[in-house]
C-alpha cells in the first residue's frame, strides 16, 4: 500500500476544493490561501483519499488539515499520510511539528505525538491563527520532534 500512496501539492486552483473538504469535516479552512501554508492532496492507486498541510513558522510547523475521506478511514492511511508529511517537513528543514485537535488526540498519540499543555507551545506556534482563534480553546495540543535527516534540504523548498 505504501508504494501506491502519492502526494501532490495543492495548486492555487485546487484551494477551493480543499477548503470545501475541510469545511465539511469541521476543520479550519478560512486561511488556506494565506502565506506560509502548503497543502498536499493524497491519492492511492489514482483515487483521491485525503489531504494534509503544513504551516511553517521558522523551524517549527503546524501539521494541519489532516483529512482522510470517510470511506477510506481505519485502514492505516491516516498514519501513512502523517508519515509522509513528516518526511516532507524534515526535508524542508522543519525540526518539530505541532497540532491542535478536538477529537483525534488518541490517533496522533499512537503515532508519536506528545500531548502538551498549550502554554508550552513555542511562541511562533502560539501566535498562529489556529491557536489564537480558529481552533476552540478546548482543543488538545500535541507536538513531535522530528528526527534529524542527513539529506535535509535548505529549508526553502516550499516556503
Residues 130-149 that bind ligand COA (CB under 6 A): none
The candidate with the shortest Cα–Cα distance to 87, out of 131, 42, 29, 127, is 42
Residues 112-131 that bind ligand COA (CB under 6 A): none
Cell numbers representing residue 58 in the block: 521558522
Contact status: 19 vs ligand COA (CB under 6 A): no
Edge-to-edge strand list for the sheet holding 37-44: 5-9, 37-44, 47-57, 60-68, 96-101, 140-145, 114-115
Of positions 92, 101, 128, 130, contacts ligand COA by CB under 6 A: 101
Q: Tell me the window of 11-19, 68-76, 127-135, 141-149 that interacts with ligand COA (CB under 6 A).
A: 68-76
Q: Which residues bind ligand COA (CB under 6 A)?
A: 25, 27, 64, 66-68, 73-79, 99, 101, 104, 106-107, 110
Amino acid at each position: 500500500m505504501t508504494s501506491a500512496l502519492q502526494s501532490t501539492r495543492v495548486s492555487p486552483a485546487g484551494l477551493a476544493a480543499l477548503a470545501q473538504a475541510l469545511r465539511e469535516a469541521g476543520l479550519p479552512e478560512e486561511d488556506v490561501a494565506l502565506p506560509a501554508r502548503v497543502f498536499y492532496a493524497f491519492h492511492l492507486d489514482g483515487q483521491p483519499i485525503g489531504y494534509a498541510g503544513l504551516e511553517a513558522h521558522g523551524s517549527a510547523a503546524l501539521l494541519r488539515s489532516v483529512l482522510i475521506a470517510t470511506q477510506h478511514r481505519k485502514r492505516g492511511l491516516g498514519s501513512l499520510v502523517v508519515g509522509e508529511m513528516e518526511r516532507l517537513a524534515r526535508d524542508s528543514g522543519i525540526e518539530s511539528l505541532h497540532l491542535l485537535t478536538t477529537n483525534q488526540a488518541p490517533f496522533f498519540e499512537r503515532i508519536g505525538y506528545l500531548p502538551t499543555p498549550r502554554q508550552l507551545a513555542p511562541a511562533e506556534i502560539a501566535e498562529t491563527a489556529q491557536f489564537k482563534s480558529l481552533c476552540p480553546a478546548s482543543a488538545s495540543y500535541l507536538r513531535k520532534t522530528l528526527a534529524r535527516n542527513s539529506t535535509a534540504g535548505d529549508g526553502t523548498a516550499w516556503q
